Chain A
């Protein structure tokens, strides 16, 4: 019996083995041996986090080219390197990716998902457009929390998902589950390269900021005491936060929803606080940069746009070199903005932070006389950014303006910026109504002069910042409005002694929307003067583009004699030459130049790495109408903080000491608490809250 059993079993086994052996010869399929090798180096936990059925599935996907060496979400860089070794690829330092919650829009819920029960975000989005009916925002039902296999997301106290960066493995499950596209998997580079689109969740302040800084998010971080976080959020868009914290005219505050309640949030005060916090504690927070690409980019002009472009290029891994005509970097920040508004030491500290990332600098090298773009190309530079600013002054177009004692505003401010003390005499007349005119006037009064500011329209039409005009009046500057110069009277040595002016009256509005001043006959008057400073507009100095003896320049210019660059990519008529800042826009804000620098860095990055510059169709070009509310209910009045003054009286008008101070920590918290958190908390006032049900638990939203 035992023997027959043994025979049967062995016989069966032998038969089966023979069949399989024969079959394996006949049915042999040549399989890529790398599949087994890849599977061997994967951790073998079959977690499915990668989206494939187990490690075998992942190995197949790698060999099929459906997935990269970073297929395994839990193995990290070591596993990626091992997979890369099997595939014959070298895995360099991989840029870490993280899930990131920021309502970045995306396709609408209705288009993507079918009904899956009202208790989750998808169904809520489908049925009611969400409990919170902003077309973009988070619904707060936590579907992403439920699907996260690594417990890396939890719901915060405000009903919004919070990603734990240490636990997140960027497996994309939350991204797939979210019907609103609120979650995304992003790397640092992707954040730096993102151009705001109209279906991103953008608070009005962020839309209006020329650099698109995520204002609500950094205010939130500052409010939580996370000043380093706030600095990092600002640095994603603006490397010059110390500068902007001092001199930005704050276009963001004009559209702040808080203005419908009381006054705008002091956004710039908060920026100034966190920027000063970093500098005063000499922290130099680490700024991550992508792996070196070794691509050389020349940046001509070390002003705000050039510095910004260099900063972002460096963070994206390229090697920028700034070539500056002046002895120091900073451009108009250093030579145009007086010390009392922006101390040179603070500016130097900020610029040093950018250079420390590995940006090369060449100073006192002027485009045209010292080098040309061709020279740089021969040196190995692959792309160029022109941030040459607007240094040429507009002329008065009157008799005698070439006389001794007539200066342009930029000339005067540059001389003071260089540490020279121009001999301007006791009586100074400044002609103009912009910020340069005010700066020249306030600088002159600090040099001990009697200063009169002459402007051909009224005070209401002055383009300078309102605070600056008030401060100038406080400091004793006299204003003469509705008056225009007609002639400079000179003495026999050719020096200006008087300025002849005529009275103006306002006529019909011109193309700028302001009423055109018309001279009134027979109202000429003469003002005694030692120096006349004309500050009536600036434009870029374009002569440097023309090589000697040539009429033609390969770069196109506009009819306003600025560089002609594509408004979104900032590419000029020469494909590898980009331009931004005042050289393209004419005299504009520092923050606009910073924004242009990043835009150009993005374009250069794409041109160098992919040979084309992608631009979405729906990028933000103007304010999104539905984000502009007419009023905001349910907010209590809270007084806006005031910036403290650091000096007063004689101390203010006799030295170049900084005038404005910084908020204290208590005032900062008061100011951050005034923010309505637009974009972080979505609310729709058309549907009363008590009518909104979340079907998951049958409870009303409180």
Chain B
């Protein structure tokens, strides 16, 4: 149990996928202007990352490893994640239209989200079991969502504060992301 707890803490705080691993920066900056948007994007990432990591785990375990085709990992994962996202989009549109609507344009955006890809690959590199893969990918998605919400909260305030013109918008957001990254390094001491 302790192991899973540490895995959670590590994925959310210490090895946060954006702030420590530096993955998924474009959606991180692009969708962190408003808290409501950040929550939508965050939950979409949690959902897709968990699904993608589980399926890629199976592909790796039962297809690539037995055939000795590990070098095809990146290509295969891209293919799997892209089709998965398409499938999930179709499914949600049909089955849960309100959720589909609230996720809006963020769902297709995740197709090219390297954070999701990164989470899937990390699970393979760490040689996690299936359960651990699910737990880790879910926690990493949560870490992404946390970072996104915190940044969007900060950005909403920056929006109404006086900012030098050259720093308005994305530049100040990147500076804030950098500062948040430094702050999250402090969590290293937790483990």
Count: A-B pairs, CB below 8 Å: 78
Q: Which of A19, A53, A120, A122 contacts B83 (CB 8 A)?
A: A19
Q: How far is the CB of B110 from chain A (nearest CB, A)?
A: 15
Q: How far is the CB of A138 from chain B (nearest CB, A)?
A: 16
Q: Which of A4, A117, A122, A143 contacts B67 (CB 8 A)?
A: A4
Q: Which A residues are CB-close (under 8 A) to B59?
A: 12
Interface of B is mostly: helix
Interface size class of A (residues with CB under 8 A): 20 to 34
- Which of A21-29, A128-136, A220-228, A454-462 forms part of the interface with chain B? A21-29
* Complex Cα spacing A697 to B161, Å: 10
Q: How far is the CB of B56 from chain A (nearest CB, A)?
A: 11
Contact A23 B69 (CB under 8 A): no
* Complex Cα spacing A697 to B162, Å: 9
Contact B160 A143 (CB under 8 A): yes
Q: How far is the CB of B115 from chain A (nearest CB, A)?
A: 20
Interface string of B49-83 (1 = CB under 8 A from A): 00000000001000110010100100110011011
Q: Which A residues are CB-close (under 8 A) to B22?
A: none
A191 in the interface (beta carbon within 8 A): no
Contact B75 A119 (CB under 8 A): no
Interface string of B87-105 (1 = CB under 8 A from A): 1001101110100000011
Q: Which of A16, A27, A117, A177 contacts B80 (CB 8 A)?
A: A16
Closest to B163 in A: A146
* Complex Cα spacing A29 to B161, Å: 44
Q: How far is the CB of A26 from chain B (nearest CB, A)?
A: 8
Known: A28-B94, A53-B37, A57-B104. A9 touches B75 (CB 8 A): yes
Closest to B156 in A: A116
Contact A5 B79 (CB under 8 A): no
Q: Which B residues are CB-close (under 8 A) to A27?
A: 90-91, 93-95
Q: Which A residues are CB-close (under 8 A) to B93?
A: 27, 29
Q: Which A residues are CB-close (under 8 A) to B83?
A: 16-17, 19-20
Q: Which B residues are CB-close (under 8 A) to A260?
A: none
* Complex Cα spacing A142 to B37, Å: 25
Contact B160 A4 (CB under 8 A): no
* Complex Cα spacing A27 to B82, Å: 17
Contact A8 B63 (CB under 8 A): yes
Give the one of A20, A117, A122, A697 with max B CB within 10 A. Answer: A20
* Complex Cα spacing A117 to B160, Å: 9
Contact A13 B79 (CB under 8 A): yes
Q: Can you show 16 pairs from A to B with CB atoms below 8 A apart?
A: A9-B75, A9-B76, A12-B59, A12-B79, A17-B83, A20-B83, A20-B86, A20-B87, A27-B95, A56-B105, A57-B105, A116-B160, A119-B160, A119-B161, A122-B160, A146-B161
Residues of A within 8 A of B (CB): 4-5, 8-9, 12-13, 16-17, 19-20, 23-24, 26-29, 53-54, 56-57, 116-117, 119-120, 122, 142-143, 146-147, 177, 696-697
